[in-house]
Structure 1
Amino acid sequence: MSLVQHFPPDWNMTDFHERLRQLRKARKITQTRVAELLGVSPRVYTRWENGDAVPVFATVVKLADILDVTLDQLAGRKDIDDDAKIHNPELHRLYSKVDQLSDEDQKALVILLDSLVKRSRMSQVMGEI
């Protein structure tokens, strides 16, 4: 018995590599970072995006989680929503847990984020001078 999980028969994976590249770029994540999050070598991941290979189904599920899309979107059964609100998967994961924080902690987080954004803007302005 083979341990390799195959895709459901009605899923057309012909354009998988193109959707994978499109989703990764829309979320502004490098190939190396996605490979790191998956625990595979960047070379293996590059083969998936080039269409030279297709990952096993369990890995496709992980890719959907990392890219914050449904399996249907990744497999081409539904249109892709390119409007990722938070491109960094770690920030997105944490963002989804913010509502669980106390009001006091949420206020502190707002102050912290606001100061980081202001500092970044200030650095950009100072760099333009």
Structure 2
Amino acid sequence: MQEFKDRLKMLRKEKKLTQVKLGEMLNYGYTAIANYESGRNQPSIPDLKKIASIFDVSLDYLLGVNDIRHPYMVDDDSIEFNRFQTYYAQLSKNSREELLMYMQWLLDRDAMRKEENATEKSSLLRVAQTEKEYRKD
């Protein structure tokens, strides 16, 4: 498992944040982030909470206690989820890692589509459409 300093850097890069931007979000300079990522300093507990919130991960994940980003997700007893768990359990470690990467890709793709749809719906071109055309989308 990764240490805090490595997790922080990985999460920051995943979100495409610079050290400066993350520092601004936490109300301090980029040097603080650089010091966290090098292992020279550790954040306070309130700052750890803020960092976990920014990256939408648990404190355990952020601190490297475990590799579970969201431990408090709602239980899912659906047939589909049970099938998924059955298949997942049968995969090799490498295949599981590939599946997780693919799932992350799907989430990223969905997020990009959501952003594109939000941008599209708010564009000035929509103003020229009739109500019927607009609602059809």
Structure 1 residue ranges without an equivalent (≥5): 1-13, 96-106, 116-129
Q: What is the aligned partner in structure 2 of residue 111 from structure 1?
A: 121
Q: What's the offset of the Cα at 1:29? A: 1.1
Structure 2 residue ranges without an equivalent (≥5): 70-100, 126-137
Q: How do 1:44-63 and structure 2 match up within 5 A?
A: 44-63=32-51
Ranges of 4+ aligned residues in structure 1 off by more than 2 Å: 80-86, 107-110
Q: 2:31 aligned to 43, 48, 69, which one?
A: 43
TM-score when normalising by structure 1: 0.53
Which residue identity lines up with residue 56 of structure 2 in the other structure? D
Indicate whether 1:21 and 2:9 are aligned.
Answer: yes
The alignment yields a C-alpha RMSD, in angstroms, of: 3.1
TM-score when normalising by structure 2: 0.50
Q: What is the aligned partner in structure 2 of residue 67 from structure 1?
A: 55
Q: Which has the higher contact order (CA 8 A, sep 6+)?
A: 1
Q: Which structure has the bigger radius of gyration?
A: 2
Pick the structure with more helix per residue: 2
Q: What is the aligned partner in structure 1 of residue 20 from structure 2?
A: 32
Q: What's the offset of the Cα at 1:80? A: 5.6
Which residue identity lines up with residue 35 of structure 1 in the other structure? G
Q: Secondary structure at the match of 2:122?
A: helix
Q: What's the offset of the Cα at 1:108? A: 7.7
Per-residue deviation, residues 57-115 of structure 1 (Å, max 9, x unmatched): 110000001111111110112216583947xxxx9xxx9xxxxxxxxxxx9876127x7
